[in-house]
A = this chain, B = another copy of it.
Amino acid sequence: MATKERTTLLLNWYANPYHTPIFAAKALGYYQDAGIHLAILETTDPSDVTEIVGLGNVDFGLKAMIHTIAARAKGFGITSIGTLLDEPPTGLLALKSSGIKTFSDIVGKRIGYVGEFGKRIVDDLAKLAGIDPTSYQSVRVGMNVVDAIARNKIDAGIGFINFQLVELETLCGEAILLRLDQLAGLGCCCFCSIQYITHENVIKHNPELVAAFLRATQRGAAFTTEHPEEAFEIFCQAKPQLKNEMYKKIFIRSLPFFSRNLLNVERDWNKVCRYAKHLNILNSDFDIQTVYTNKFVPDHPFSEVEPIACCLA
């Protein structure tokens, strides 16, 4: 059982439909059942999250795999304890009217990025493609890539197939997505998998809290994937300003990417580690095993009914 008054979780973004498992777990009392009074915090700048978790100012956070690795490389004591979204396909998105059809069309264009690593990835791809780094302009747009395209501040920016692409198509018209994983020959979009992270001190001093948090969260993930309409309704009760057809579509598009068991995927961490070394974010001797643990992920999902037997005993 948890021992604190409030437990804090800092989201990687504003609260949106891909956070439904967390809001479902809260609204259905799963955190309460686990002895946790969860305060869910949003960020107005995604680039602030790793430092706030890394300084131990909050108990838990959400962040992409590559950012989690990068935070460790900077010396923050951050560990991934589980997965929210598995490999959501990510790419450079643009309106068809921008004329951008392939990656080399970025020449002469304004390319938006959220934070440091998005820029690194685009710059690395440009270098590999033999594109002059002064031939395109990089623009930091933070949270609001789609708004920046809509207001003609950038020609293209980085986003998820299940989120910003839906926004752009809904708000502005036909769009394309050039997948970064495919451009980079990575074979998966795992660098964008979104992880539950915590500080090593939380693991050290309150491992019961970590286990309780994941137990409740896994129930929320199961509920969301097994009862999607009810789960989205619950999310909308927490965020009524997002109750519209566009966010419903974003929710449905996110369904295939929710991790149902919350496990960190070893193969993906290994891939992202190699990619981060390629990008010079990590030293070549970095040990990826130190960045994540599945020790606190529940062995068995919560059962709504009393089992008649444990047939696998």
Contact = CB atoms under 8 A, between A and B. Distances in A.
A178 interface: yes
Copies of this chain in its oligomeric complex: 2
Given A252-B255, A256-B256, A308 B184 contact: yes
Nearest to A86: B260
A129 interface: yes
A103 B303 CA distance: 14
Nearest to A165: B226
B185 A307 contact: yes
B87 A274 contact: no
Contact of A183 (B89, B275, B308): B308
A188 to B, nearest CB: 7
A19 interface: no
Nearest to A221: B256
B311 A278 contact: yes
A187 interface: yes
Contacts of A226: 89, 161-162, 256
A304 interface: yes
Q: Is the interface of A mostly helix, strand, loop or mixed?
A: loop
Contacts of A311: 124, 128, 184-186, 274-275, 278
Contacts of A271: 312
Interface string A142-179: 00000000000000000001100000000000000011
Interface string A298-313: 0111011101111111
Interface in A244-288: 252-253, 255-258, 260, 271, 274-275, 278
Contact of A179 (B304, B309, B312): B304
B252 A178 contact: no
B185 A308 contact: yes
A304 B243 CA distance: 34
A129 B89 CA distance: 46
A228 interface: yes
A312 to B, nearest CB: 5
18 contacts: A103-B305, A128-B309, A129-B308, A129-B309, A179-B303, A179-B305, A182-B307, A183-B305, A183-B308, A184-B309, A184-B310, A186-B312, A228-B252, A228-B253, A228-B256, A255-B256, A271-B312, A275-B312
